[in-house]
């Protein structure tokens, strides 16, 4: 039977470590504060924002909440970000995506001060990751590295295939695995002989957004399989990009959905907030 990589448990370990660090900072008079901005009332975004605020509370990080109406103009949003950039009592700024169509996400991300870019989406943060300099790392890929390390999965020298090349998951994931000395391949919708490519992976990371697409014929026997996908199946039940029931018997370790990668994203956001305050 494959090892079940428990994201809930590992994220709790991390949050408990962060709780201690936040208390340490507090004892030195440093309060950590995250500003969370949501534009409009997309129900999924509201759930994510609520969970992020709950995470802050658990760890002992202050949160400032800005719930702006859907009609908010881009200039108004940029004005708020600039104000928060200038506030010494705000360490991190998070703008919940997606934004309404009339607002350009790239412009918004570029307006956040890179020193407060706890999501790690600013081009300066991504560039720093690319050339191996310090900076905030996108939370989901950073969480996957923690899942692997804390589950005792060796990364160095391993063949790693990442399925998906988005800016928030696939690309930063590839850079992080490279930083950990894996041999990295990125596959995507134009990749030829996809099963042959993914079948080489010692560590296969699926971030495609296609329910249960990865079946056992994509997976080498004994591989470690990380499922980033959050999708709904034909019965509207939450499922990943990996067909868990089909793949679990052939791999050596696997993350479930829910309860795998998902909980790690918030844990790493909180980690970035603590880092932004200087620990």
Out of 15, 96, 220, 243, the active site residue is 96
Q: How far is CA 59 from the centre of its chain?
A: 18
Q: Lay out the site mask for ligand NAP across 161-190 (x = CB under 6 A, - = otherwise).
A: --xxxx-xxx----------------xxxx
Contact 91, 279 (CB under 8 A): no
The DSSP H or E segment spanning 232 is: strand 231-232
Cα–Cα distance for residue pair 75/6, rounded to 1 Å = 42
Catalytic, 21? Answer: no
Out of 52, 116, 171, 212, the active site residue is 52
Out of 6, 119, 202, 227, the active site residue is 119
DSSP string, 203-225: EEEE-S--TT-B-GGGS-TT-EE
Which member of 38, 140, 255, 272 binds ligand NAP (CB under 6 A)?
140
Catalytic, 119? Answer: yes
Residues 6+ apart with CB under 8 A from 157: 181, 182, 183
List the interface residues with ligand NAP, window 242-261 (CB under 6 A): 261
Helices (H), 122-163: 123-130, 139-150
Cα–Cα distance for residue pair 244/242, rounded to 1 Å = 5
Closer Cβ to ligand NAP, 256 or 262, answer by number: 262
List the interface residues with ligand NAP, window 189-218 (CB under 6 A): 189-190, 194, 207-210
Residue of minimal CB distance from ligand NAP? 166
Which member of 77, 95, 129, 228 binds ligand NAP (CB under 6 A)?
228
Closer Cβ to ligand NAP, 22 or 174, answer by number: 174
Closer Cβ to ligand NAP, 84 or 119, answer by number: 119
Which residues make beta-bridge pairs with 35? 64, 93
Q: Does 262 bind ligand NAP (CB under 6 A)?
A: yes
Count of positions on this chain that bind ligand NAP (CB under 6 A): 24
Closest CA to 86 of 78, 98, 96: 78
List the interface residues with ligand NAP, window 80-99 (CB under 6 A): none
265 by DSSP, 3-state: which?
A: helix
**Residues annotated catalytic, as ranges:** 52, 96, 119
Interacting residues with ligand NAP (CB under 6 A): 140, 163-166, 168-170, 187-190, 194, 207-210, 228-231, 261-262, 265
């Amino acid at each position: 039977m494959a090892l079940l990589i428990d994201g809930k448990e590992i994220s709790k370990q991390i949050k408990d470590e962060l709780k201690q660090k936040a208390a340490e900072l507090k004892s030195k008079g440093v309060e950590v504060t995250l500003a969370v901005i949501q534009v409009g009332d997309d129900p999924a975004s509201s759930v994510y924002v609520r969970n992020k605020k709950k995470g802050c509370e658990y760890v002992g990080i202050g949160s400032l909440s800005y719930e702006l109406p859907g009609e908010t103009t881009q200039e108004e949003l940029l004005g708020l970000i600039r104000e928060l950039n200038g506030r010494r009592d705000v360490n991190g700024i998070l703008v919940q995506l997606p934004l309404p169509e009339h607002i350009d996400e790239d412009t918004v991300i570029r307006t956040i001060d890179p020193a407060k870019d706890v999501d790690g989406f600013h081009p300066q943060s991504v560039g720093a990751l690319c050339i191996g300099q310090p900076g905030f790392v996108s939370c989901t890929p950073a969480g996957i590295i923690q899942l692997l390390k804390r589950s005792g999965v060796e990364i160095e020298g391993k063949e790693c295939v990442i399925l998906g090349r988005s800016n928030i998951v696939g690309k930063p994931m590839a850079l992080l695995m490279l930083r950990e000395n894996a041999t990295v391949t990125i596959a995507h919708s134009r990749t030829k002989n996809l099963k042959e490519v993914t079948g080489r992976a010692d560590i296969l990371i699926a971030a495609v957004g296609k329910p249960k697409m990865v079946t056992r014929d994509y997976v080498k026997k004994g591989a470690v399989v990380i499922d980033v996908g959050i999708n709904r199946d034909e019965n509207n039940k939450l499922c990943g990009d990996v067909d868990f029931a089909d793949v679990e018997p052939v791999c050596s370790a696997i993350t479930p959905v829910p309860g795998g990668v998902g909980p790690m994203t918030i844990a790493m956001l909180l980690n970035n907030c603590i880092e932004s305050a200087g620990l």
